[in-house]
A = this chain, B = another copy of it.
Amino acid sequence: MSLFLFLAASVAAAMPAKPANAVLSPGEIVSAAPAADWRAMAADDLLVMDLAADTAALPAAPPRRIVIQLLPEPFSQSWVGNIRTLAAARWWDGTSVYRVQDNWVAQWGDADGEDAAKAKPLPPGIAAVPESEYVLRPSATSRDVSHEELDMWLATIAGTHAAWHALTHKQARIKDADPYADETFFFRGWPLAASKTGPSAWPVHCYGSVGVARNPSPDTGTGTELYAVIGHAPRQLDRNIAVVGRVIEGMQFLSALPRGPAPMGVYVNPSERTPILSVRLAAQVPDLPIYEYLSTESGSFHTYAEASANRRDPFFIQPAGGIDICNLKVPVRRAK
């Protein structure tokens, strides 16, 4: 096997020792980031989904635990609130992953939800969310965001500031081009897009993003039927479906599930579905690690982003000169 493709592969690869003058890879830059550049994720934003063990796996498979970070204020909070209510009620316990479509999504929840006679009843307090909440507008931001942070992303919409924007425009070392939006940028560890007309900003669909399946407009989904993206970023869904979080650990337990043979990846036989043992908030899960992300407003992230867009580490011969918002993965780790 060619090991060097391996070295090009991973953001967090363990790397051999190098002379001091060697160009650092993105993974080495992340490994060298000071503790001050990492941010702990709020436990309130962590959703823990345990899937039934993979009985087919030999030797005995590890637990299939998937950890999802929910979007923090100020994005998608009405759906996130519903999801917290559903998790507190243990609503997903006993439901399943019922649909896995290649290069699209793995989707879970109530497989009988379309059948009113069989649908699982909802707990009290589930809100119907208007389509206006797919995007965030300045008038809708009177929430728990610091003035500094609010200024940052509002200014970004106006095209004048924010970490990602500063990097792409002021340093001009990353070609800033996105076919889906006027601007793409990172805010509090999340990839976002923005329109200067409006203005408005919204979370984007990337690999590992978690969204809310819905019925036809004006339905926006309650949050009971969730999906994780398991292929190339389906950005056409941005502003059409609510993004509510991202998988930060255990992604392979969704992305490597067998694809459903029926149209749209549906399993023909209910026995092919993957049972969900439980979905809980972090507060309900003993001994859950603390998770951290590399602050997208930190110097380390700037350096990591520039190095990711202009690969000069030894494997590469032709730096791209740019990178798309979904290909620049925000580093996440368990706290040391």
A residues adjacent to B (C-beta < 8 A): 1-10, 13-14, 56-58, 98-105, 107, 109-111, 113-114, 131, 134, 174-180, 206-208, 213-217, 221, 225, 227, 230-241, 251-252, 255-259, 263-266, 308-309, 311, 314-318, 320-324, 326-327
Contact = CB atoms under 8 A, between A and B. Distances in A.
Contacts of A214: 2, 4-5
Nearest to A217: B317
A10 B240 contact: no
A102 B3 CA distance: 16
Nearest to A99: B1
B213 A322 contact: no
B251 A103 contact: yes
Given A2-B215, A236-B327, A9 B104 contact: yes
B213 A5 contact: yes
9 contacts: A1-B110, A4-B214, A4-B215, A5-B241, A177-B177, A179-B323, A206-B232, A240-B311, A240-B318
B232 A207 contact: yes
Contact of A258 (B14, B57, B109, B110): B57
Given A14-B263, A114-B1, A263-B14, A238 B9 contact: no
Nearest to A258: B256
Nearest to A220: B317
B264 A259 contact: no
Nearest to A318: B239
A318 B217 CA distance: 11
A265 B144 CA distance: 40
Contact of A1 (B6, B225, B241, B324): B225
A331 to B, nearest CB: 14
B252 A259 contact: yes
Contacts of A232: 206-207, 231-233, 326-327
B6 A216 contact: no
A99 B233 CA distance: 23
A110 to B, nearest CB: 7
Contacts of A179: 174-178, 309, 320-324
A5 B227 contact: yes
Q: Which of A56, A110, A174, A308 has the most CB of B within 10 A?
A: A56
Contacts of A239: 317-318, 320
Given A2-B225, A263-B13, A324 B235 contact: yes
Q: What 10 pairs across the A-B complex have the smallest Cβ distances?
A: A179-B322, A6-B264, A56-B56, A2-B213, A177-B177, A239-B318, A252-B259, A5-B213, A207-B232, A177-B179
Contacts of A9: 101, 104-105, 264-265
